[in-house]
Amino acid sequence: MLAEIALRAWTPDDAEWYVRQVADPEIRRFTTESATLTVEGFRTALDRLTSSDDELGWVAVDPISGERLANVAALRNGGTAVVSYWVSPDARGKGVATQALDELCTRALTVWPITGFRLYTHADNLASQRVAEKAGFHRMDGMPTQREVHGEKWPVRWFERFR
């Protein structure tokens, strides 16, 4: 298990790494990342991210080596923020996602006057559900059990975390 992670801002130099990561079958299976994402598409999204008051996103890195480990992001929607995350294949199972998600929430609360966070996972993504719970999220009842992702109906589980 990693002792610690750090979050840093995304840069255009991260584009090729990001595009390679989202081609991973598990990331494709359980996230909304585009299968056709290009380096230019990443850079366009980065421009949008850096100019938006309603979006936050960082790359989780090893604080000593600087090795990129994961992506965390938040989208503010009124008084809450919807968060998302994925971890590179080499960093899975080491606590990276839990630490990165917790730090994302901490940072978002310093920027936005929100009351809490929401996230959804594919119903089959048990690892992501464990991450959410370890990061202080609780299962939400009464939420839609399906979402459309890339033209398919996904079975989903919703989680929330309050300030």
Q: How many CA atoms lie within 13 A of 8 on its CB side?
A: 14
**pLDDT computed for residue 2 by the predictor:** 59
* Confidence at residue 160, expressed as pLDDT on a 0 to 100 scale: 97
Low-confidence residues of the chain: pLDDT under 70: 1-3
Q: What are phi and psi of 47, to 5 degrees?
A: -60, -45
Residue 3's pLDDT is: 60
Q: Looking at residue 39, what is its pLDDT?
A: 97
Phi-psi label, residue 87: left if phi above 0, alpha if psi -120 to 50, beta otherwise: beta
Q: Is the separation of the CB atoms in 61 and 69 below 8 Å?
A: yes
Q: Tokens at residue 131, please?
A: 């991450």
**pTM for the predicted model, two decimal places:** 0.93
Tell me the CA end-to-end span of the chain in Å, nearest whole number: 27
pLDDT value for 145: 95
CB atoms within 10 A of CB 15: 19
